[in-house]
């Protein structure tokens, strides 16, 4: 087909086209041109189709009556490209029903299929930044909703044998890396390049819903905000207060993850200034996750007061100033408060009467936190006293005394305790007895909770529960499928010390 040869020439003549020119002609996308061409020639195709089908039919019906003479003619017709009979929409419908694993092989069938398959792709992870800058990304995949740019922003080193990972970021480094622990900063593309890529992407994909990027500046963010009004989910790594100035334009943003500081990778500061700008700009936020961010009571209070729809707040490895916990009570619609990997909660939360509490809170989730401090834990439970579900996983320092502060939460229906090695049955019991509405209890892998110490009253309470999962002596390192065959115990007898 003539159009496909035009495309071929384009490829061979411009391996690295000027990044601005294909993007300025925003109205004519390659996919639009393709469609126009096929729809124009559709009547012609249909005529050809009708003629071809008549011939096919006249050949195939003799097949049914076993006419051997005609069989020699059939092979000629079998090489007609029958998908020309199918319009683009028909073929797209069929392609969309095929599994994702077949995507790569479908794109290799022919150029038209490459184009169509590309139109079905909605989500992509970029590994090569040139792919974005040169416009080839938009050419191949015009209908993107979700783009993860983070791997593309990091420069792959030549001999990347060492894989460095944290819970938010993974990258390869080589053994010649500098001794100060800021690996990411050295291996990242310059800010201008990242911004250019972001604006190229935004110009070409106005339907973007979800973007993840690292090291952008407010200019890049502004271009995304302006061109993509449907942007709902954003992850900004190496974020700072300045970058957040660009966020105010994303009016429809609902899910936001800001990563300021990751030990060993990079350090940037998100403080109250940034949080306040964020609060005033994105009033529709529903979920907010702050990793390694600084700030204090003022920032959290601003978010609480401005983002009325905020339902989920997650703080990961926070570096907030003491006293921030009281700000959480300003989040009137907050349903879930989650703290993960926090080295401290709030060493000086202030007086009990000024703490307040979150009226709509339903879930408190603590994971891998250090809970050693009395004031922090009591303030935390006090702010979350309306919680219905309390989940504590792998937290250090939670002993009976600290857990006792949880009696202030009167409405708890579900308690899930895992990996809290200082807690004993007695401590657990004294808290549970005060919770009249408890319906569901899960205790996993808490080594000081012993079955032998269950008192009769606790046992009676267990019978009233709707759900009980009692496995305190389980070693959680062993996957549950192996637990049943008690491998650890049986193997021991084969390896005796001699």
Partner 1 sequence: MASSSSNLISLKTSDGTVFKVERALAKTMKTVQAIIEEADANIYMIPIHNVFSHHMDMIIDYYKLSVAGKSKEFSVEKLDNDELKDFLLAVHYLNMEDLFEVLTQAVADRLEKKSVGYVRKYFGIENDFTPEEYAAIRKKNDWAFKGDDIEPEEDEEKQEE
Contact set with partner 1 (CB under 8 A): 4, 8, 11, 49-50, 53-54, 56-57, 60, 78-83, 85-86, 90, 93-95, 97-111, 113-114, 121, 123-128, 131
Shortest distance, CB of residue 124 to partner 1, whole angstroms?
A: 5
Q: Identify which of residues 61 and 486 has a Cβ nearer to partner 1 in the complex.
A: 61
Shortest distance, CB of residue 84 to partner 1, whole angstroms?
A: 9
By C-alpha distance, which of 306, 327, 307, 305 is closest to 315? Answer: 327
Q: Identify which of residues 99 and 491 has a Cβ nearer to partner 1 in the complex.
A: 99
Q: Identify which of residues 41 and 474 has a Cβ nearer to partner 1 in the complex.
A: 41
Taking the CA atoms of residue 193, residue 195, residue 197 and residue 198 in that order, the dihedral angle to the nearest 10 degrees is: 160
Q: What is the DSSP letter of 188?
A: B
Shortest distance, CB of residue 6 to partner 1, whole angstroms?
A: 12
Q: Identify which of residues 80 and 478 has a Cβ nearer to partner 1 in the complex.
A: 80
Shortest distance, CB of residue 44 to partner 1, whole angstroms?
A: 15
Q: Identify which of residues 124 and 191 has a Cβ nearer to partner 1 in the complex.
A: 124
Q: How many CA atoms lie less than 13 Å away from 53 in the CB half-sphere?
A: 11
Give the integer Cα–Cα distance in Å for 244 and 137.
Answer: 27
Q: Identify which of residues 46 and 457 has a Cβ nearer to partner 1 in the complex.
A: 46
Give the integer Cα–Cα distance in Å for 188 and 71.
Answer: 64
Shortest distance, CB of residue 39 to partner 1, whole angstroms?
A: 15
Q: Identify which of residues 23 and 114 has a Cβ nearer to partner 1 in the complex.
A: 114
Q: What is the DSSP letter of 365?
A: E
Give the integer Cα–Cα distance in Å for 12 and 8.
Answer: 6
Give the integer Cα–Cα distance in Å for 151 and 75.
Answer: 49
Shortest distance, CB of residue 168 to partner 1, whole angstroms?
A: 17
Q: Find all residues with CB under 8 Å of 419, minimum gap 6, and list them.
A: 393, 394, 395, 444, 445, 446, 476
Shortest distance, CB of residue 413 to partner 1, whole angstroms?
A: 35
Q: Identify which of residues 5 and 455 has a Cβ nearer to partner 1 in the complex.
A: 5
- Print burial letters for 33-50: b (CB count within 10 Å at least 16), e (below 16): ebbeebeeeeeebeeebe
Residue 379 vs residues 51, 150, 375, 409: alpha-carbon distances, Å: 81, 37, 6, 12
Q: Identify which of residues 104 and 463 has a Cβ nearer to partner 1 in the complex.
A: 104
Contact 257, 278 (CB under 8 A): no
Shortest distance, CB of residue 152 to partner 1, whole angstroms?
A: 9
Shortest distance, CB of residue 239 to partner 1, whole angstroms?
A: 24
Tokens of 5: 């040869």
Contact 276, 248 (CB under 8 A): no
Residue 118 CA to its chain's centroid (Å): 23
Residue 236 vs residues 154, 160, 215, 446: alpha-carbon distances, Å: 14, 25, 8, 37
Shortest distance, CB of residue 61 to partner 1, whole angstroms?
A: 8
Q: Find all residues with CB under 8 Å of 158, minimum gap 6, and list them.
A: 174
Helix/strand/coil for 113: helix
Query: Strand 261-262 to strand 287-291: parallel, antiparallel, or no bridges (unpaired)?
Result: unpaired
Shortest distance, CB of residue 151 to partner 1, whole angstroms?
A: 9
Q: Identify which of residues 32 and 89 has a Cβ nearer to partner 1 in the complex.
A: 89
DSSP string across 438-465: --EEEEES-TT--GGG--HHHHHHHHH-
Q: What is the DSSP letter of 252?
A: T
Q: Identify which of residues 148 and 321 has a Cβ nearer to partner 1 in the complex.
A: 148
């Amino acid at each position: 087909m003539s159009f496909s040869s035009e495309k071929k020439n384009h490829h061979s003549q411009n391996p690295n086209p000027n990044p601005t020119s294909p993007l300025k002609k925003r109205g004519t996308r390659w996919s639009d041109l393709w469609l126009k061409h096929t729809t124009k020639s559709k009547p012609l195709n249909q005529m050809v189709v009708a003629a071809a089908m008549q011939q096919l039919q006249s050949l195939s019906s003799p097949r049914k009556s076993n006419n051997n003479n005609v069989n020699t003619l059939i092979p000629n017709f079998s090489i007609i490209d029958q998908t020309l009979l199918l319009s683009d929409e028909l073929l797209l419908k069929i392609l969309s029903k095929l599994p994702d694993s077949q995507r790569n092989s479908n794109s290799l069938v022919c150029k038209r299929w490459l184009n169509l398959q590309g139109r079905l792709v909605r989500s992509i992870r970029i590994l090569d930044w040139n792919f974005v800058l040169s416009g080839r990304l938009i050419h191949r995949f015009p209908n993107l909703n979700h783009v993860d740019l983070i791997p593309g922003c990091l420069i792959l080193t030549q001999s990347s044998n060492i894989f460095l990972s944290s819970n938010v970021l993974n990258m390869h480094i080589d053994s010649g890396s500098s001794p100060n622990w800021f690996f990411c900063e050295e291996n990242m593309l310059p800010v201008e390049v990242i911004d250019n890529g972001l604006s190229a992407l935004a110009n070409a994909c106005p339907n973007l819903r979800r973007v993840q990027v690292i090291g952008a500046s407010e200019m890049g963010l502004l271009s995304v905000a302006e061109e993509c009004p449907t942007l709902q989910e954003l992850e900004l790594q190496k974020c700072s207060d300045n970058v957040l100035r660009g966020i105010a334009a994303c009016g429809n943003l609902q899910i936001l993850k800001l990563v300021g500081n990751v030990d060993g990778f990079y350090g940037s500061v998100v403080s109250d200034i940034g949080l306040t700008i964020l609060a005033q700009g994105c009033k529709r936020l529903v979920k907010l996750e702050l990793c390694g961010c600084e700030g204090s009571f003022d920032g959290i209070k601003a978010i609480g007061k401005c983002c009325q729809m905020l339902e989920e707040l997650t703080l990961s490895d926070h570096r907030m100033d003491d006293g921030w916990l009281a700000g959480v009570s300003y989040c009137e619609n907050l349903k879930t408060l989650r703290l993960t990997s926090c080295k401290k909660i709030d060493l000086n939360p202030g007086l009990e009467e000024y703490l307040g509490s979150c009226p709509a809170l339903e879930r408190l989730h603590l994971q891998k936190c250090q809970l050693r401090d009395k004031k922090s834990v009591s303030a935390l439970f006090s702010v979350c006293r309306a919680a219905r579900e309390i989940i504590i996983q792998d937290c250090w320092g939670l002993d009976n005394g600290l857990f006792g502060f949880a009696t202030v939460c009167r409405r708890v229906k579900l308690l899930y305790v895992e990996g809290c090695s200082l807690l004993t049955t007695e401590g657990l019991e004294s808290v549970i007895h005060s919770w009249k509405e408890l319906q569901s209890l899960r205790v996993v892998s808490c080594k000081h909770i012993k079955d032998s110490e269950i008192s009769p009253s606790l046992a009676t309470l267990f019978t009233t529960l709707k759900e009980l999962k009692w496995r305190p002596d389980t070693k959680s390192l062993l996957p549950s499928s192996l637990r049943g065959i008690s491998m650890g115990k049986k193997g021991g007898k084969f390896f005796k010390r001699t």
